[in-house]
């Protein structure tokens, strides 16, 4: 199967070379690599240019935000499977794409585990997101898979749509809710850490941002004509607390 990998970037000179190298190093041969840049004004584009022979498509232009850029990437992809690795993130090893292709089989989608790492030292784990097996209805218990580990067949994007630009910070949550919970696409869980994500996400930084995130989570259900459980929106952030206590030997075996 052909795998399209999409990196979204904007003034990402500090980290994007690590991202690109982690994709270029993959041992799977049939990869289409796409970079969507929002019109960077730092040295991001010069860094990208060093690897242009390994990149199928480079688009640099202003956009309406990260999810608009993701949609551009999906629209320009021609692979059977589409994955997104943003410019702060790296794959845990060079066999990630091979493992994804091996494990997804005839399923529509796949997800795995993720670790949050120190920005300067990506071997230092701050949090460990162990996803667990998907079960129908588990979204109502506040569950979601880590989006940077989520790979989706291109046919599902074609059938059910891309990222909803009505949401500014939860369009990834909405897309996975729509695909898995609403449309019941088939999915498999790969119980391995495949992605290292640098710390620095904004939705949990302050109480105000968390309240904004909860409002968007509620909208994600509403626009799909779905009704969350009575505790869904409370459980969703609370489920993340355990991630801070899973930083020992349990995850080092995957890195």
pLDDT digits (tens, 9 = 90+) for 181-215: 999 999 999 999 999 999 874 444 555 676 778 89
Q: How confident is residue 242, by pLDDT bands cut at 50, 70 and 90?
A: confident
Residue 128, pLDDT > 50, answer yes
Q: Counting beta carbons within 10 angstroms of the beta carbon of residue 92, is it exposed (0 to 12), middle (13 to 18) or buried (19 or more)?
A: buried
The class (CATH top level) of 3-252 is alpha beta
The Cβ-side half-sphere exposure at 57, using a 13 Å CA radius, reads 18
Residue 207: predicted pLDDT: 55
113 phi-psi bin (left φ>0, alpha ψ -120 to 50, beta other): beta
245 Cβ neighbours under 8 A, 6+ residues apart: none
132-167 pLDDT, tens digit each: 999 999 999 999 999 999 999 999 999 999 999 999
| 81: DSSP letter | E
* pTM listed for this prediction: 0.92
Residue 232: predicted pLDDT: 95
Beta strand 3-9 pairing with 81-84: parallel
For 156, list phi and psi in degrees, rounded to 5: -70, -40
15-71 pLDDT, tens digit each: 999 999 999 999 999 999 999 999 999 999 999 999 999 999 999 999 999 999 999
Residue 254, pLDDT > 70, answer no
Residue 255: predicted pLDDT: 39
């Amino acid at each position: 199967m052909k795998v399209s990998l999409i990196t979204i970037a904007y003034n990402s000179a500090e980290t994007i070379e690590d991202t690109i190298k982690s994709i270029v190093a993959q041992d799977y041969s049939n990869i289409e690599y796409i970079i969507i840049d929002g019109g960077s004004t730092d040295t991001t584009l010069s860094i990208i240019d060093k690897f242009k022979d390994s990149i199928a498509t480079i688009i640099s232009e202003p956009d309406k935000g990260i999810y608009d850029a993701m949609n551009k990437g999906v629209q320009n992809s021609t692979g059977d499977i589409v994955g997104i690795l943003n410019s702060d993130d790296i794959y845990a090893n060079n066999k990630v794409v091979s493992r994804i292709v091996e494990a997804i089989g005839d399923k529509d989608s796949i997800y795995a585990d993720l670790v949050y790492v120190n920005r300067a030292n990506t071997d230092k784990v701050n949090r460990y997101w162990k996803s667990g097996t998907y079960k129908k209805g588990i979204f109502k218990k506040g569950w979601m898979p880590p989006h940077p580990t989520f790979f989706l067949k291109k046919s599902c994007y074609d059938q059910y749509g891309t990222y909803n630009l009505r949401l500014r910070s939860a369009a990834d949550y909405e897309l996975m809710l729509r695909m898995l919970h609403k449309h019941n696409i088939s999915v498999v869980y790969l119980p391995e850490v495949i992605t290292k994500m640098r710390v620095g996400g904004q939705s949990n930084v302050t109480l105000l941002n968390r309240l904004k995130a909860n409002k968007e989570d509620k909208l994600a259900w509403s626009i799909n004509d779905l009704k969350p459980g009575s505790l869904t929106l409370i459980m969703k952030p609370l489920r993340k607390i355990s991630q801070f206590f899973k930083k020992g030997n349990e995850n080092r075996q995957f890195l």
